[in-house]
Structure 1
Amino acid sequence: MKKEYPCVEVKLWKITHNAKEILSICNKRGIDVIGITKVFCAEIPIVQAILNSGIKKIGDSRILNLQKMKSINCKKMLLRISMKSQSYEVVRYSDISLNSELDVIKELSRTAKMLNIIHNIILMVDLGDLREGVLVKNVIDTVKEIVKFENIRLVGLGTNVTCYGGVIPDENNLGKLVELKKNIMKVFDMDLPIISGGNSSSLYMVMDGTIPEGINQLRIGEGIVLGRETSFGRHIANCYDDAFILKGEIIEIKEKPTVPIGKIGVDAFGKKPKFQNKGIRKRAIVAVGRQDMKVDGLTPLDKNISIFGASSDHLILDITESENSLKVGDIVDFKMDYGCILAAMTSPYVSKYYSEDFICLSS
């Protein structure tokens, strides 16, 4: 099959492998895993690769992605707190949603009643990261109102840290979530089966054995995709960091100076670039740019290639030290960080290919 470049090549078996490893270490601590699909726009082959690991629930922040997955037989969670204007879609396409606003929950209840169903929600609690969630001091009063809604079932508490404020999950803040559950059980004589303790940033506590007892769910995206926890960037044992590879085609090779000739102003993105004079270097231009992805999240697989910079359409490489005899038309491979994968998988200008090839298992 002829490939269109630039493209992302996804090794589906590596996704399944990573998900299986993470599920195993979490299950040993009594923790369930929600496989998060937003970074790759819920592309069905990758979703299925996650489910092949034994993970039974998936989550996404976009209603459109949940709609895309409607024919997949598994439980689905809406990650981003619900929009009031999308109450019908939330109830229709998610089995459980994360919420923090009483007005929205009231609307979800009204919609669920119209559809003659009960909608499950997790109440999000802000433990200091200052993104979504009810403040700890207001949780009891909020639950008091939630239990009045006929078609809503409060099934748990959740939190999110690291993503906005950079707050690291620890025994203290996640411990507050467990204590809140105990208080709610006493005040309302009700069970909350789910205590959702965050995302891939909480994995380091699972790995270290320090995650508080009572945390029984994590929402894992980057851990599965890149094989690492996100609080400290530690590699997860026996996982892969190269399930997603960007491939770009060389469209020019020239020997040129490393400092532009002339008066330097701002570039196409309004920034004044700085250059280090390395003399004449062999430069390759790859047909991919900032319109396609977050180029500073790229790392060439050839360790002797470095990136000079990029414009909206062109990625400029230093290939002087490469031991490969690169020529125009050749393909250069790159690893991607999370933000780069997110942009590349969203871009209509980047083709996507999926491989089930297991030949590389021994490499």
Structure 2
Amino acid sequence: MSLLEQRYRRVLRLLPATYRAEREDEMVSAFLDGAHATADEDNPRPHWREIASVAALAVRIRLGANTTRPRHHAWGQAVRLAVLGGLGFYAATGVWTATRPPLDGTLTGLPATAAAGVVMAVAFALLATGRVRAAKTAAAVGLVPYAVEVALAADRLADMLSRPGKPSPARLPLDAVPLLVMAVPFVLVAAFAAGYHRDVRPPRLPAAVAVAPVAAGLAVAVAERAAIWLIVPTGALGEGWHWIAMWVSEAGLACLALAGAAAAHTVARLRTGRHSAAVPLALALLSAPAALIAAIRIAPGAAGEIADVMNLTAAGQALLLALCCLAMLTVGLRSLPPAPPPAQLRPAD
């Protein structure tokens, strides 16, 4: 076996084992036929375009839309549901952030993250109505404000670390929260590009679903404003608001939404007896980063009543999300169809 053939076979390890067992020799032969004859002494390597094509094929297979490969289809459906849910959440929180009142009852304006969330609302509506390419473009545009915020947060953190009086180790996780929170949308858009590939049929959801995140964001903003108007006249805002402030935040709302969705899915699963893997796996994929964000908000060295309440609430949210993630991942993995033997694998679409 030549050195070039060895390297081609190494690249093909990106593909599932069952697929390689069916097509590896054929693909290696095609690659070698298209390559220029090169001796091992010349240290030949696969072209980057060939590597990219194999990687793209691996993504399409592992996140497939072909029901003849039920295991890959289930993972593909899980990623696509997670993308739809993630876009919907950012759409709802973007509308909420753009319209929510501060403690004095006036509007907050439209910060960069709120503007990004509004763009995500457009991306969600486009995706829900089957316009996948336009939705990908809108989601990519929505990353621009996050990129600016990530750069600013990284600069602030680097400046703090370079000062003589560096932040304490207990303070560092809290200072890193903005970086982690604003990195999640980039992972979401990458999953969007990978999950909704060219083999996937565009979704066609009811029009009510397309505007549901906007309605949810407005409902949260109205509820928050009503709570402030009810509490402020009693003079209890400063005393009791910190008990619910951690829940009226993106992390808190994510915790409530995911815990509620996991509970609803569990009840529906027990009632109907259906054992779909895609929904619990999607909830696990969404719960994992949310649990990490909740956990990193804990500041063990902080002191004071408010700090204690915030730490306790963040710990509770992290634990709840971790349990949701573990439970949904267990249920989803157990519901996955068994992997087919190599002989039963059909050619790729």
Q: TM-score range by the shorter chain?
A: under 0.3
- The higher relative CO (CA closer than 8 Å, separation ≥ 6) is in 2
Q: TM-score with structure 2 length normalisation?
A: 0.24
Structure with bigger helix share is 2
